[in-house]
C-alpha cells in the first residue's frame, strides 16, 4: 500500500470542526463529523482489501489512519460538547460523540481487522511499533473480539448503552448549575473584589452561582455557616436527582460488559491493561496510602479542632461545609498567612504569561499568539515553535460562560502524527476573570491548577510527534496520564519562579519572599487530610465498580466511606456521587491521581532545586517521558527517567511537610 493510497482516504479537508461552521450550526457539525467517519470507514475498507502478505505498511498504516480520523472526530465533538455557546450545537455534539464512540466500539469488535493485525509480521519493526501492535491486540481481546458474532453484537450494544449513560451523566453536570441567594451581611469574610462583583438585586439579595469562581471563595472565606451550607448543598446536588438513575444504569451496564468478558467486576476489566494491573493491586496501593496518611490526618484534625474551640467555646464538631473555612482561619493564625493576601499578586493575565514563560524555558520551546481561530471569541490561540519551526498549537478557554463545562480539563483537539498533522490541544477551565474590568484575581490553588492543566497540554504537544496516531500525545496507560500534570504542579513551589511573574496588579510590587515562605508553609499544612479525601474518592470509585451494582445504595455508600476516611461531620442531603464527573472518564480508576502523585514527586525530586528550569533533568524528562507519548509502557518510561521504579520516599516527605510547617508556626 503506497503513501498515495493512504492519503486517498483523507476525504475531509477541514481539520477543525468550527472552521466548517460546527460551533454555530448543528447541521454543519454533523456534516463535519460524518466526513471524518467516512474517512475512517474508507481506511478500514482499504485495509481489508489488501491482497498478499500483511505488513505494517499495508495494514497497520491504514488501521492507524482509521484511528486518526476517529480520534479527530471524537476529540472535537467532545470539545464542542463542553464549550459550544448554542445548546443545539452542544446537543448535536453529544450525539456526534456518541456516533464516534459507536464507531470505536465497532472497530474494537471487528474480527476481520483483528485478524489482519494478527497476521502482520512485526519482527523487523521498531520497539514503538511493536508496542503499538501488542497494546492494540490486547485491547481487542479485552473488548471481546474473540467471542462469537452474537456475543460481539451484544457487547457492542452494551458499550453503546454505556456511552449514552456516560454522556448524559456529564451533560447533566455541565448544565445542572444552580444558584442561591445571600444577604449582603452574609458576604462577611469574602474578598473585597468578590463583594464588589456581586451586586444586590431589587429585593436586596445577592445571587450566587455554583460555578467555581463563586463557589470556592464562599467555602473558604465566608464566615456565615448558613451561607456555606446552602452553597455546599446546591453544589453537591446540581445534577441530582437525574444522575442517580443514570449512574445506577451505567454501573449495571459496565458490570454486564465485564461479566460477558469473563471478569469478576468492571474494576478488574478496567485495570487489566493499566500499570496497576488489577483491582486487588489497587486495593493494596490504597492500604499503603491509608497507612501513610492516617496519623497525619488525625493530628491535623486535632489541631484544627483545638483551634476552632478556642474561637468558638463549646464547639463539638466541624462539618463538611466548615472544613475549608477553619483551615483558612488556622493558617492565618498559625502561619500569619491570609490566602486572600496573595490574590492581588495573581491576576489571571500575569499568571497565564508566567506559566507560559515557565513552560517555554523548561521545555525549550516558544509560544506565540496565533492567527488561528477558536470556537469562541473568548478563546486565545497560541502556536508552539521550536528552533523557529511551528510544532503545535493550543487553545485557552479559561473563564466561565453560560452552558460551558464548569470544571478544569485538558483535551486533545488534533492528534499529532509525524509528517501528517501537528498536535493541537486545549485547556477548558473556569478561572476568575474574563470580563471587562475584572482582573481575575486567583487563589494560589487556582495557580496550582493552571500549572497542572498546562502539564497535560505540554504532554499532548511534545508527545504528539510520534509515527502513529494511536501512540500520540495522551495515548499512555490511563493511570500514567496524570504524571506530567502533577509533576508540573510542583514548580509552583519555587520562590524564584513565583517572583518572576507574581506582581501586584495595581502597584507592580513583586510578591515578597516572606509571604511566599508563609504561603508554602501554610499550603503544606493539610496535605494528610487532603490525601484522606483522595482516598475517599478513590475508594468510592473502586467500590462502585468492584461489586454487584444491584446491591449498591448510592446514598448509603458515600456516607459509609466518608465516615470511614474523613473526621469531619457528614451533612445529610449531600449527593456528591451525582456530580462526581470522574466516574465517567476514570470509572473505577480514580486511584490514578494518587498513584501518579507518587511517580510525579519522585520525578520532581530529580530536578536541581537551585536551578529548576536550567538543570539537565528538564531535557531528560522531556525526552524520556513527554516526547514518547504512548510509544512505551508507562513502567518503562518511569525506569528510563529514574533508572528504577518509583519509590515512596519523595511522596512521604511531601505528605509530612505539614510537620515542618508546624515547627515554623511555633518558631
Residue 344 has pLDDT above 80, yes or no: yes
Local confidence band at 654 (pLDDT 50, 70, 90 cut-offs) = very high
Residues 460-480, mean pLDDT to the nearest whole number: 96
- Of 190, 209, 235, the residue that ends a domain is 235
Q: Percent of the chain having pLDDT more than 90? A: 95
Question: Which residue range forms the structural domain that includes residue 353?
Answer: 344-528+592-666
C-alpha to C-alpha distance for 23 and 410, rounded to whole angstroms: 19
- DSSP class of residue 507? T
Asked if residue 282 belongs to a domain, the reply is: no
Residue 461 has pLDDT above 50, yes or no: yes
Per-residue confidence (pLDDT) for residue 407, from 0 to 100: 87
Local confidence band at 13 (pLDDT 50, 70, 90 cut-offs) = low
509 lies in the same domain as 599: yes
Asked if residue 101 belongs to a domain, the reply is: yes
Total number of domains constituting the chain = 3
383 lies in the same domain as 504: yes
Q: Which residue(s) pair with 381 in the sheet?
A: 395
Asked if residue 252 belongs to a domain, the reply is: no
- Of 120, 143, 166, the residue that ends a domain is 143
75 lies in the same domain as 212: no
Per-residue confidence (pLDDT) for residue 558, from 0 to 100: 98
Asked if residue 159 belongs to a domain, the reply is: no
- The 10s digit of each residue's pLDDT in 604-644 is 999 999 999 999 999 999 999 999 999 999 999 999 999 99
Asked if residue 216 belongs to a domain, the reply is: yes
Residue 663 has pLDDT above 60, yes or no: no
Asked if residue 318 belongs to a domain, the reply is: no
Local confidence band at 6 (pLDDT 50, 70, 90 cut-offs) = low
CATH at residue 383: 1.10.1370.40
At 414, list the grid cell: 488534533
Per-residue confidence (pLDDT) for residue 14, from 0 to 100: 82
- The 10s digit of each residue's pLDDT in 114-160 is 999 999 999 999 999 999 999 999 999 999 999 999 999 999 999 99
Which contacts of 451-454 are long-range, i.e. CB under 8 A and separated by 24 or more positions? 451/355, 451/358, 451/488, 451/489, 451/491, 451/492, 452/408, 452/485, 452/486, 452/488, 452/489, 453/408, 453/409, 453/410, 453/427, 453/429, 453/485, 454/355, 454/359, 454/427, 454/488
501 lies in the same domain as 357: yes
128 lies in the same domain as 210: no
39 lies in the same domain as 104: yes
C-alpha to C-alpha distance for 71 and 255, rounded to whole angstroms: 26
Name the helix (H) or strand (E) containing 594: helix 592-604
626 lies in the same domain as 485: yes
Per-residue confidence (pLDDT) for residue 656, from 0 to 100: 84
14 lies in the same domain as 89: yes
220 lies in the same domain as 116: no
Q: Are 53 and 41 in contact (CB under 8 A)?
A: no
80 lies in the same domain as 185: no
- The 10s digit of each residue's pLDDT in 77-113 is 999 999 999 999 999 999 999 999 999 999 999 999 9
- The 10s digit of each residue's pLDDT in 168-220 is 999 999 999 999 999 999 999 999 999 999 999 999 999 999 999 999 999 99
Asked if residue 151 belongs to a domain, the reply is: no
Q: Are 343 and 443 in contact (CB under 8 A)?
A: yes
Per-residue confidence (pLDDT) for residue 91, from 0 to 100: 96
DSSP E strands, 123-275: 179-182, 206-209
- Of 203, 235, 267, the residue that ends a domain is 235
C-alpha to C-alpha distance for 636 and 591, rounded to whole angstroms: 20
Local confidence band at 11 (pLDDT 50, 70, 90 cut-offs) = very low
72 lies in the same domain as 217: no
- The 10s digit of each residue's pLDDT in 431-445 is 999 999 999 999 999
Per-residue confidence (pLDDT) for residue 659, from 0 to 100: 47
CATH at residue 115: 1.20.1050
Asked if residue 163 belongs to a domain, the reply is: no
C-alpha to C-alpha distance for 602 and 465, rounded to whole angstroms: 26
Amino acid at each position: 500500500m503506497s503513501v498515495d493510497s493512504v492519503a486517498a482516504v483523507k476525504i475531509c479537508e477541514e481539520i477543525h470542526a468550527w472552521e466548517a461552521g460546527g460551533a454555530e450550526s448543528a447541521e454543519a457539525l454533523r456534516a463535519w463529523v460524518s466526513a471524518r467517519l467516512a474517512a475512517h470507514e474508507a481506511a478500514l475498507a482499504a485495509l481489508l482489501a489488501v491482497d498478499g502478505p500483511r505488513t505494517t505498511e499495508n495494514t497497520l498504516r491504514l488501521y492507524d489512519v482509521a484511528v486518526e480520523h476517529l480520534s479527530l472526530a471524537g476529540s472535537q465533538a467532545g470539545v464542542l460538547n463542553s464549550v459550544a455557546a448554542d445548546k443545539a450545537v452542544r446537543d448535536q455534539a453529544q450525539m456526534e460523540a456518541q456516533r464516534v464512540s459507536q464507531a470505536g466500539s465497532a472497530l474494537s469488535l471487528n474480527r476481520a481487522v483483528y485478524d489482519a493485525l494478527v497476521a502482520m509480521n512485526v519482527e523487523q519493526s521498531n520497539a514503538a511499533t511493536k508496542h503499538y501492535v501488542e497494546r492494540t491486540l490486547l485491547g481487542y481481546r479485552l473488548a471481546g473480539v474473540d467471542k462469537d458474532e452474537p456475543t460481539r453484537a451484544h457487547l457492542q450494544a452494551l458499550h453503546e448503552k454505556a456511552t449514552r449513560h456516560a454522556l448524559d451523566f456529564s451533560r447533566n453536570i455541565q448544565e445542572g448549575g444552580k444558584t442561591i441567594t445571600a444577604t449582603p451581611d452574609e458576604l462577611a469574610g469574602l474578598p473585597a473584589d468578590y463583594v464588589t462583583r456581586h451586586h444586590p438585586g431589587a429585593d436586596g439579595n445577592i445571587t450566587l452561582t455554583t460555578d467555581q469562581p463563586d463557589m470556592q471563595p464562599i467555602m473558604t472565606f465566608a464566615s456565615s455557616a448558613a451561607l456555606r451550607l446552602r452553597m455546599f448543598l446546591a453544589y453537591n446536588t446540581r445534577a441530582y436527582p437525574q444522575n442517580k438513575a443514570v449512574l445506577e444504569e451505567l454501573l449495571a451496564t459496565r458490570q454486564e460488559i465485564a461479566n460477558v468478558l469473563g471478569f469478576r467486576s468492571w474494576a478488574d476489566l478496567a485495570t487489566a491493561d493499566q500499570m496497576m494491573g488489577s483491582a486487588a493491586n489497587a486495593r493494596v496501593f490504597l492500604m499503603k496510602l491509608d497507612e501513610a496518611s492516617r496519623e497525619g490526618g488525625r493530628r491535623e484534625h486535632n489541631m484544627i479542632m483545638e483551634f476552632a474551640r478556642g474561637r468558638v467555646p463549646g464547639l463539638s464538631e466541624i462539618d463538611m461545609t466548615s472544613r475549608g473555612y477553619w483551615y483558612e482561619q488556622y493558617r492565618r493564625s498559625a502561619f500569619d498567612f491570609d490566602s486572600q493576601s496573595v490574590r492581588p499578586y495573581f491576576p489571571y493575565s500575569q499568571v497565564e504569561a508566567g506559566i507560559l514563560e515557565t513552560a517555554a524555558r523548561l521545555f525549550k520551546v516558544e509560544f506565540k499568539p496565533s492567527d488561528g481561530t477558536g470556537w469562541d471569541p473568548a478563546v486565545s490561540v497560541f502556536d508552539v515553535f521550536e528552533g523557529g519551526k511551528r510544532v503545535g498549537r493550543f487553545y485557552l478557554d479559561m473563564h466561565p460562560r453560560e452552558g460551558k463545562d464548569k470544571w478544569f480539563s485538558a483535551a486533545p483537539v488534533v492528534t499529532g502524527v509525524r509528517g501528517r498533522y501537528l498536535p493541537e490541544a486545549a485547556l477548558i477551565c473556569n478561572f476568575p476573570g474574563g470580563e471587562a474590568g475584572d482582573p481575575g484575581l486567583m487563589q494560589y490553588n487556582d495557580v496550582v491548577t493552571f500549572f497542572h492543566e498546562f502539564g497535560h497540554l505540554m504532554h499532548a504537544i511534545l508527545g504528539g510527534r510520534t509515527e502513529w496516531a494511536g501512540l500520540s500525545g495522551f495515548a499512555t496507560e490511563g493511570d500514567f496520564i496524570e504524571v506530567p500534570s502533577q509533576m508540573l504542579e510542583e514548580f509552583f513551589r519555587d520562590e524564584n519562579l513565583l517572583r518572576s511573574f507574581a506582581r501586584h496588579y495595581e502597584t507592580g510590587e513583586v510578591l515578597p519572599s516572606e509571604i511566599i515562605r508563609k504561603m508554602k508553609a501554610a499550603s503544606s499544612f493539610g496535605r494528610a487530610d487532603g490525601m484522606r479525601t483522595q482516598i475517599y474518592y478513590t475508594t468510592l470509585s473502586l467500590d462502585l465498580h468492584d461489586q454487584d451494582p444491584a446491591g449498591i445504595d448510592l446514598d448509603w455508600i458515600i456516607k459509609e466511606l466518608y465516615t470511614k476516611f474523613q473526621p469531619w461531620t457528614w451533612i445529610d442531603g449531600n449527593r456528591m456521587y451525582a456530580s462526581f464527573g470522574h466516574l465517567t472518564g476514570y470509572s473505577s480508576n480514580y486511584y490514578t491521581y494518587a498513584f501518579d502523585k507518587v511517580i510525579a514527586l519522585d520525578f520532581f525530586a530529580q530536578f536541581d532545586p537551585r536551578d529548576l528550569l536550567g538543570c539537565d533533568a528538564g531535557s531528560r524528562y522531556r525526552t524520556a517521558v513527554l516526547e514518547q507519548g504512548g510509544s512505551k509502557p508507562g513502567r518503562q518510561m518511569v525506569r528510563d527517567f529514574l533508572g528504577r521504579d518509583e519509590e515512596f520516599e519523595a511522596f512521604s516527605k511531601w505528605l509530612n511537610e505539614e510537620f515542618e510547617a508546624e515547627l515554623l508556626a511555633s518558631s
